[in-house]
Chain A
Amino acid sequence: NAGVTQTPKFQVLKTGQSMTLQCAQDMNHNSMYWYRQDPGMGLRLIYYSASEGTTDKGEVPNGYNVSRLNKREFSLRLESAAPSQTSVYFCASSVMRGGGETQYFGPGTRLLVL
């Protein structure tokens, strides 16, 4: 199993450009998540999807949209990138939302917005 995969690994955007970060998991997990990691701030949840067909806002959703395309795939879209969105983005998945289940993380996408 590949686990959680993310593309691209690295991206440079100009302010105002749009892009979609892709995430896929092959563990048959129901729940998927998008986090951003910034220096000195740990990881913060952007959006999550408890199950196929549902999405909900996390702690820092402004400036982002998500799509749960199917059970395997959960994409994150930046419609108009801003320098404040320069960060490392991690996708994660788990069997279910809530409780003590473990989240499994992808390798990350490093985004630089100029």
Chain B
Amino acid sequence: AQSVAQPEDQVNVAEGNPLTVKCTYSVSGNPYLFWYVQYPNRGLQFLLKYITGDNLVKGSYGFEAEFNKSQTSFHLKKPSALVSDSALYFCAVRAPIGANNLFFGTGTRLTVIP
């Protein structure tokens, strides 16, 4: 069975500092991995995804994520946080074969402190 874990409910970071939002996954075979962001009272917006190839994936708004197969992780990173990055972040996984849907983590609330 596929699953995703986001071990931190809340991450606080000072504006201008680097940020990391953690995600680990469990799936049979090679995974498809996604990050979405949700601003208050809005739907989810796609940030980036890993399908295959380079382990470092670059996405929207300066975010990037590193796929680490040995650690089964896909952490979201940004070199310099902005106050406007404050939102709820979801990691999601899909198995490449036989999967019907994305499995989402429980979300991590990022607060960037001015």
Contact A43 B104 (CB under 8 A): yes
Quick one: which of A56, A59, A97, A104 contacts B46, CB cutoff 8 A? Answer: A104
Main secondary structure of the interface of B (DSSP, over half): loop
Contact A105 B43 (CB under 8 A): yes
Chain A residues touching B, range: 20 to 34
Q: With A43-B90, A105-B43 in contact, do A33 and B32 touch (Cβ < 8 Å)?
A: no
Q: Bound complex: CA of A59 vs CA of B4, how far in Å? A: 15
Q: Which of B14-22, B69-77, B79-87, B93-101 contacts A (4 or more CB under 8 A)?
A: B93-101
Q: Bound complex: CA of A40 vs CA of B106, how far in Å? A: 5
Q: Bound complex: CA of A40 vs CA of B49, how far in Å? A: 23
Shortest distance from the beta carbon of A97 to any chain B beta carbon, whole Å:
7
Residues of B with C-beta under 8 A to A102: 34, 46, 49
Q: With A98-B94, A99-B32, A105-B44 in contact, do A48 and B101 touch (Cβ < 8 Å)?
A: yes
Q: Bound complex: CA of A86 vs CA of B26, how far in Å? A: 29
Contact B45 A100 (CB under 8 A): no
Chain B residues touching A, range: 20 to 34
Extra pairs beyond A56-B100, A98-B99, A105-B45 (13, CB < 8 Å): A42-B106, A43-B102, A44-B104, A58-B101, A90-B44, A98-B94, A99-B32, A99-B94, A100-B51, A100-B94, A102-B49, A105-B36, A107-B43
Residues of chain B whose beta carbon lies under 8 Å from any beta carbon of chain A: 4, 9, 32, 34, 36, 41-46, 49, 51, 90, 94, 96, 99-102, 104-107
25 of the cross-chain contacts (CB-CB < 8 Å) are A40-B9, A40-B106, A42-B105, A43-B44, A43-B90, A43-B104, A44-B104, A45-B100, A45-B102, A48-B101, A56-B100, A58-B101, A59-B101, A98-B96, A99-B94, A100-B49, A100-B51, A100-B96, A102-B46, A102-B49, A103-B46, A104-B46, A105-B44, A105-B45, A108-B42
